[in-house]
Chains A and B, each alone.
Chain A
């Protein structure tokens, strides 16, 4: 099956640090990638949608300057949490899809647990 690799799986860092999370589609070209945030025992909250070579579309309430998304190639998207603070601590998970067809499943990475001290 389709594989999406997300790295790192866990980050612990000091407040004020910027953290970069990578998401790679290993065996398919991802025309669209998605970034989600998930709080404990809650559902996934979509942060932004990115298409290769264009600017990401952010959901309402998500700070573009705080969460920088780059989708430079059909196999790689990055999320950078800039000047992270304790309230940014969360589980971040990326997802990739090969096409726009409605029955095309989104394949997810294993997620990144971010802890800001």
Chain B
């Protein structure tokens, strides 16, 4: 069974510093996609970045980059130059190909609460 693990329930970082949020996954599938979402206290889920299992380069999107280590089954999110507005819950999620019904749904990790401090 597919599983996503985020081992950091909470993280603190100082403004303008970089922070890494950990995500490991477990799957026997060769084809899968990894996503990171941000959820501010208001509740909406904001898509940040995507990494495909066959992508050779690490994904980057502005201040977000993904440290993808396929052999270790990890897909850590790196946020550079942290801002106060980055304070939120961050979820790692994985999608794999599902043969029977369901339409390849996302499996979410438990999340990491990030707090950016002055």
Please report A residues at the B interface, Cβ cutoff 8 Å: 1, 31-32, 34, 41-44, 46, 49, 51, 57, 91, 93, 95, 97, 100, 102-103, 105-111, 113
Check: B102 CB closer than 8 A to any chain A CB.
yes
Please indicate the chain B residues that have their CB under 8 angstroms from the CB of A100 in the complex. Answer: 103-104
Task: Considering the complex, give the chain A residue whose CB is closest to the CB of B110.
Answer: A43
Please indicate the chain A residues that have their CB under 8 angstroms from the CB of B37 in the complex. Answer: 108
Please report B residues at the A interface, Cβ cutoff 8 Å: 31-33, 35, 37, 42-47, 50, 52, 91, 95-97, 101-106, 108-111, 113
Please give 6 more A-B residue pairs, beta carbons under 8 A apart, in addition to A46-B105, A100-B103. Answer: A32-B103, A43-B108, A49-B105, A95-B106, A102-B95, A103-B50
Please indicate the chain A residues that have their CB under 8 angstroms from the CB of B33 in the complex. Answer: 102-103
Q: Give B100 Cβ to nearest chain A Cβ, in Å.
A: 10
Task: Considering the complex, give the chain A residue whose CB is closest to the CB of B95.
Answer: A102
Task: Considering the complex, give the chain A residue whose CB is closest to the CB of B44.
Answer: A110
Distance of A44 Cα from B95 Cα, bound (Å): 14
Contact of B43 among A34, A105, A111 (CB under 8 A): A111
Please indicate the chain B residues that have their CB under 8 angstroms from the CB of A107 in the complex. Answer: 47
Please indicate the chain A residues that have their CB under 8 angstroms from the CB of B105 in the complex. Answer: 34, 46, 49
Taking a contact as CB atoms under 8 Å apart, the answer to whether B108 and A44 are in contact is: yes
Please indicate the chain A residues that have their CB under 8 angstroms from the CB of B97 in the complex. Answer: 102
Distance of A49 Cα from B108 Cα, bound (Å): 15
Smallest CB-CB A-B distances: 6 pairs: A108-B45, A111-B43, A110-B44, A102-B33, A32-B103, A105-B47
Taking a contact as CB atoms under 8 Å apart, the answer to whether B110 and A49 are in contact is: no
Taking a contact as CB atoms under 8 Å apart, the answer to whether B109 and A95 are in contact is: no
Contact of A93 among B32, B45, B106, B109 (CB under 8 A): B45
Contact of A51 among B46, B95, B103, B108 (CB under 8 A): B103
Distance of A106 Cα from B47 Cα, bound (Å): 8
Taking a contact as CB atoms under 8 Å apart, the answer to whether A93 and B52 are in contact is: no
Taking a contact as CB atoms under 8 Å apart, the answer to whether A102 and B31 are in contact is: yes
Distance of A9 Cα from B103 Cα, bound (Å): 27
Taking a contact as CB atoms under 8 Å apart, the answer to whether A93 and B43 are in contact is: yes
Contact of B103 among A49, A108, A113 (CB under 8 A): A49
Taking a contact as CB atoms under 8 Å apart, the answer to whether B103 and A91 are in contact is: no
